[in-house]
Amino acid sequence: MATATASVPNRRKSEPEATAPVWKKMSKEAAYERYQPLVKYVVDRIAANVPKYVERDDLLNAAALGLFDALEKYDSGKGTKFETYAVWRIRGAVLDELRSMDWASRSIRRKARQLDTVCRELDQRLGRQATDQEVASEMSVSNSQFGRILDDVRGVILLSLNQPANDGDDAGTAGMAELIEDTRAANALDRIEKERSTTTRK
């Protein structure tokens, strides 16, 4: 089973110098309304990787707290775009909520460990990354059964990938997977606002 690896670029050097955010002059409610698309963006991505019985409203509530935390703690003097910082805080708050739920049963965690062990052993034996079909065969399950196993354990993998990447305050809640994708996430609001502007002009 293929495992993606990527180096984390230095975002601060590539990002434009941050300026005082426009929401500093807004009420908390107005600022939340402005950046609510980021809340939805993060929750949509995480919700796709957790069991369906995890309540979406719980994730949205946690994400909202993460956004308010970002609005309170953001420091433009550190050179990070607010949208990037907000995504770190929002996603970190949602992942913390998931961990507090402890929704992954022992059987799911056991499947995740088994899958990891089989993948590592196969990769070493074959001298390359094993395909899903090869992993399924090694586990003595059908392709459809293997697909269900992946569905069961992907949330556990998500939380594992999003363990804190460092101890810094700016990215304290950011994991490796978050940092790799932060540019797309930070640009989500820009795309939405451009679409709104285009619609308004028509």
| 186-200: pLDDT as tens digits | 444 454 445 445 555
What pLDDT does 150 receive?
A: 78
Whether pLDDT at 116 is above 90: no
Residue by residue, DSSP assigns 31-98 as: HHHHHHHHHHHHHHHHHTTS-TTS-HHHHHHHHHHHHHHHHHH--GGG---HHHHHHHHHHHHHHHHH
Average pLDDT, rounded, for the chain:
70
| CATH number among 3.40.462.10, 1.10.1740.10, 1.20.20.10, 3.30.70.20, domain 16-201 | 1.10.1740.10
The domain locations on the chain are: 16-201
What pLDDT does 90 receive?
A: 92
| 144-180: pLDDT as tens digits | 888 888 777 765 655 554 554 443 444 444 443 443 3
What is the mean predicted confidence (pLDDT) over 93-109?
A: 72
**Distance between CA 123 and CA 140 in Å, rounded?**
17
| 31-84: pLDDT as tens digits | 888 888 999 999 988 887 776 777 889 889 999 999 999 888 888 788 888 888
The helix/strand/coil state of 15 is coil
Helix, strand, coil percent values for the chain (each to nearest 5): 70, 0, 30
**What is the maximal distance between C-alpha atoms in the chain?**
61
- Report residue 22's pLDDT band, with 50, 70 and 90 as the boundaries: low
